[in-house]
Amino acid sequence: MVDGIRAYRMIAAMWIRSTMTYRASFAMTLFGNFAATAFDFVAILLMFSHVDALGGFTLGEIAFLYGATGIAFGIADLVMGSMDRLGRRVRDGTLDTLLVRPAPVLVQVAADRFALRRLGRITQGVLVFGYALTVVDIDWTPARALLVPVMLLSGAAIFSAVFTAGAAFQFLAQDSAEVQNAFTYGGNTLLQYPPSIFARELVRGVTFVLPLAFVNWLPALYVLGREAPAGLPSWLAFLPPVVAVVCCALASLAWRAGLRSYRSTGS
Amino acid sequence: MSRHPESSADGTDHIVVDDLQKVFDVRKKTGLVRREKHRVRAVDGISFTVPRGEMVGYIGPNGAGKSTTIKMLTGILTPSAGRVRVAGIEPARDRTRLTRRIGVVFGQRTTLWWDLPLIDSYRLMHRMYRVEDRRFRENLDRCVELLELGELLDTPVRQLSLGQRMRGDIAAALLHDPEVLYLDEPTIGLDVISKTKVRTFLRDLNAERGTTVLLTTHDLQDIEQLCERVMVIDHGRLMYDGALAGLHEIGESERTLVVDLAEELPPVDAPGARVLKVEGPRQWLAIPAAASAAPVVTAVASAYPLVDLSVREPDIEAVIAKMYEDRAAP
């Protein structure tokens, strides 16, 4: 674990140094990354220019949901975003070169081409979240204040687990980068809108089938002082850390299984 | 630089392979959705040992099982059956621990970071392998000098030519002082000058540092110039293991004696030789590779007006091809 973090730091630092040789280029891609993600929120703003509330949520509340997911996903994307290249590594055989180095393969894949420009997405999330905190009248209690960072970090961990599990899946199925993206980027889009826009059954399914909902929905509703939907008890809002731990454990098992399968089949 | 200490769990045998097997289940699409499963024995019961400091060539046609063997020796692949020990370590189980003791060069793909300058890759290796600073400096300086990498260190790997990249890869595999070096097709696609540089470097490395080297190759000149011992593999089985010279005997190869006579004559008659071709005053004679050429030369020189003479060594490629033919049609 300590070795893994050390190796991650080393590889990431190398890529950061390399990116920083071209500062202007870096600044532009960072801004591009920021702008591209910002368009999503602009779309929501446009909707609100026509209606006052979307699915019973005000603009500020939606900004809260959007910002929270944006930050959580942004962190996971920054740390684990390179995982979707695993499929290509398996196909072209370059994974073998990682297996003969003294650092965990997961770390080497995740830290490869570490891209600081992904900070653009986090920045955008932070701005929107900050805006939400100023406009929404939240009844702050210690529990609510504590839940905000817990929600963000657990969310980042859950998204990271999904990235890892998706990568593990790529060991078995070639060309599954698209499938993985459907889960991660698709799940991200889903969470940026208030759940009641989507059909009740879908929402139920997402809550139970995909733990992604814990990323921000249940805790966000709690912080915003709203009832949990579908009659779910409100203590579920505090489950994200538990869900995060379970997700990471499952993802780690999946990764091990995937790597073991690769090492026994070589493909 | 010091030689590696003579210590290993397996005594002097640095690599021990015992009845090694690797079976793949290959699924073939036979219809729209139907798939047929069949088993491929990529490595089918191979045994050999390599003593410390030996340089061994591992040759065979494509798909013979060479790379699969190397992958099991590095711990990338888990064997289906059999036993492997490298420097006393079981590769598949202790892969990470083994990585610090071995160096691997894959001719077809680089272990360097493609988009970064060569030196960045080396610096990362330095820290990743936790190589002591002074040792790293020494090893890097030596590699840079002998492999002529000085002007390439700040060049991104993707801009290097194949020969430059290969030299860069070999250096990368040696910065942590590995005891065992695996080279999978180290000269593939290289021009003559690059090949010579690589071969000279490897020979010196083996001689000075006592590094155990196992190399797979298609280029038999690699073997002729580097290895005293050669292993031939086909269909996952070891077909020959021994001195290079012995391969000629098994393959019943022949040396060719080209004699230039003073005038056009009927085919010469010399005991132990067989005339292959007559073209004007020049004649080609075949003699068994294992036999000496001297008696034939003497016989020809005493009975015919000899102007010039040359001996051509047998082509190992042909020897191995013949070996395969013999096995295929018993």
Q: What rounded mean pLDDT belongs to chain B? A: 86
CB-CB neighbours of A229 under 10 Å: 16
Q: Which of B202, B219, B248 is the last residue of a domain?
A: B248
B185 shares its domain with B305: no
Residue A204 pLDDT greater than 60, yes or no: no
The pLDDT of residue B9 is 43
Q: Which of B28, B76, B157 to mutate to test the interface with A (most CBs of A within 10 A)?
A: B76
Q: How far is B116 from chain A (nearest CA, A)?
A: 7
B237 shares its domain with B262: no
Q: What rounded mean pLDDT belongs to chain A? A: 81
Is B34 inside a domain boundary? yes
**Contact A100/B at CB under 8 A:** yes
- Per-residue b/e over B6-16, b at no fewer than 16 CB within 10 Å? eebebeebbbb
Question: Which pTM value belongs to this model?
Answer: 0.79
Is B126 inside a domain boundary? yes
The pLDDT of residue B11 is 54
Lowest mean pLDDT among B29-38, B134-143, B286-295: B29-38
Long-range contacts, A58-61 (Cβ 8 Å, 24+): A58/A136, A59/A135, A60/A131, A60/A132, A60/A135, A60/A136, A61/A132, A61/A136, A61/A194, A61/A224
Lowest mean pLDDT among A154-163, A224-233, B245-254, B286-295: B245-254
A134: exposed, middle or buried (C-beta count within 10 Å: 0-12, 13-18, 19+)? exposed
The pLDDT of residue A205 is 45
Is B5 inside a domain boundary? no
| 3-state secondary structure at position B85 | strand
* pLDDT tens track for A55-88: 778 888 888 988 888 899 899 999 998 888 888 8
**Contact A11/B at CB under 8 A:** yes
The percent of residues above 70 in pLDDT, for chain A, comes to 82
Q: ipTM, 2 decimals?
A: 0.77
Instruction: Find the domain containing B40 and state its range.
Output: 13-248
* pLDDT tens track for B81-136: 999 999 999 999 999 999 999 999 988 888 898 888 999 999 999 999 999 999 99
* pLDDT: which is higher, B276 or A209: B276
B243 shares its domain with B276: no
B161 shares its domain with B261: no
Q: Which of A118, A119, A30, A124 is nearest to A68 (CA)?
A: A124
Give the number of A-B residue pairs with CB atoms closer than 8 Å.
65
B116 shares its domain with B233: yes
What residues of chain B lie within 8 A of the CB of A10, using their CB? 124, 127-128
* pLDDT tens track for A13-55: 999 988 888 788 888 888 888 888 777 778 878 877 787 777 7
| 3-state secondary structure at position A210 | coil
Parallel, antiparallel, or unpaired for β B102-106 and B180-184?
Answer: parallel
Is B318 inside a domain boundary? no
What residues of chain B lie within 8 A of the CB of A20, using their CB? none
Residue B165 is part of a domain; what is its CATH number?
3.40.50.300
Q: Nearest chain B Cα to A260, which residue?
A: B78
Domain ranges of chain A: 2-265
Is B42 inside a domain boundary? yes
| 3-state secondary structure at position B260 | strand
Is B7 inside a domain boundary? no
* pLDDT tens track for A116-153: 888 888 998 999 999 999 998 888 999 899 999 999 99
* pLDDT: which is higher, B176 or B256: B176
Number of domains present in the structure of chain B: 2
